[in-house]
């Protein structure tokens, strides 16, 4: 599981509120082509040192499966368009299985000494997840995208890039099945749903955009109310950093005050 995000981010430029539809991403054909250029390097490394690994899906099979999934995305986009529900059985399962295979492929990179390819695989994970969201699929295995978005947020160099992460997290929250949103099993603090919502709130704070912050806080309060007192207490402490504006600091203090009264 990716670590929780750092809180503050130095202001760079002003941004507007971002919706999922505004987030630009590579077309499915571009994702497929990107993977085709990457796969030979992974397979060569596997031939040199990876074939002795056990307990994992054989990498050639895994690589073949990912390529077939991405090709299927391209064909479905060509037939049904790049947005909107695809009224075929197993579309959600197709996208979810692709995400799981990409996550397993990413896990191979450390063994193959190919960690420099990790950001490229993360982009494929985000692209596959966005394909699912744009076609109104449920993302029943959100962990790969939760991790990839955390890395994407940490690599952001502008508020605009953070806003794009915010939009993708918002879309993933919407696309997560209700059974996961109900969050009945709370024993694991690193469960993807909890990490996603807390990182969503942290990204909103780092944008220093009040509408984004209020939306993320409302989501956190609705879905993880038991986390709010601790979250806002820590947020106020972090807001002492000079990167935060007085407006943001005041907003966070007001939110903390509400939860101090409740708890």
Tens digits of residue pLDDT in 106-140 = 999 998 999 999 999 999 999 999 999 999 999 99
8, pLDDT greater than 80? no
d(CA 10, CA 8): 7
pLDDT band at 163, cuts 50/70/90? very high
pLDDT, residue 116, reads 96
Pick the most confident of 25-39, 59-73, 154-168: 59-73
For 61-111, the pLDDT digits (tens) are 999 999 999 999 999 999 999 889 998 889 999 999 999 999 999 999 998
pLDDT band at 212, cuts 50/70/90? very high
Supply angle C-alpha 3, 8, 13, rounded to 5.
Answer: 120
d(CA 43, CA 67): 13
Dihedral in degrees, nearest 10, Cα atoms 103, 66, 152, 107: 30
Phi-psi region of 73 (alpha: psi -120 to 50; beta: other; left: phi over 0): alpha
pLDDT band at 49, cuts 50/70/90? confident
pLDDT, residue 12, reads 34
Half-sphere exposure at residue 103, Cβ-oriented, CA atoms within 13 angstroms: 18
d(CA 52, CA 187): 36
- Would you call 17 helix, strand, or coil by DSSP? coil
173, pLDDT greater than 70? yes
Range 175-198 average pLDDT: 93
Domain parsing of the chain, residue ranges: 18-158, 177-263
53, pLDDT greater than 60? no
15, pLDDT greater than 50? no
22, pLDDT greater than 90? no
10, pLDDT greater than 50? no
């Amino acid at each position: 599981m990716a670590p929780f995000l750092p809180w503050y981010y130095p202001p760079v430029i002003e941004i507007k509120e971002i919706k999922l539809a505004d987030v630009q991403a590579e077309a499915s054909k571009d994702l497929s082509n990107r993977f085709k250029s990457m796969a030979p390097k992974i397979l060569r490394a596997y031939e040199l040192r990876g074939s002795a690994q056990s307990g994992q899906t054989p990498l050639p099979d895994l690589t073949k499966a990912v390529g077939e999934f991405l090709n299927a995305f391209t064909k479905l986009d060509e037939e049904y368009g790049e947005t909107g529900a695809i009224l075929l059985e197993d579309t959600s399962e197709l996208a979810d299985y692709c995400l799981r295979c990409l996550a397993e492929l990413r896990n191979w990179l450390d063994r193959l000494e190919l960690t420099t390819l990790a950001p490229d695989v993360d982009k494929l994970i985000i692209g596959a997840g966005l394909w699912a969201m744009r076609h109104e699929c449920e993302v029943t295995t959100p962990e790969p995208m939760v991790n990839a978005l955390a890395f994407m947020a940490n690599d952001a160099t502008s508020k605009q890039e953070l806003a794009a992460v915010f939009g993708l997290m918002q879309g993933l929250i919407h696309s997560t099945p209700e059974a996961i949103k109900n969050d009945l099993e709370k024993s694991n603090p690193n469960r993807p749903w909890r990490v996603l919502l807390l990182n969503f709130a942290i990204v909103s704070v780092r944008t220093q955009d009040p509408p984004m912050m209020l939306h993320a806080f409302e989501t956190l309060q609705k879905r993880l109310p038991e986390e709010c007192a601790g979250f806002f207490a820590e947020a106020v402490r972090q807001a002492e950093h000079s990167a935060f504006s007085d407006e943001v600091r005041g907003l966070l203090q007001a939110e903390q005050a509400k939860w101090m009264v409740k708890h």
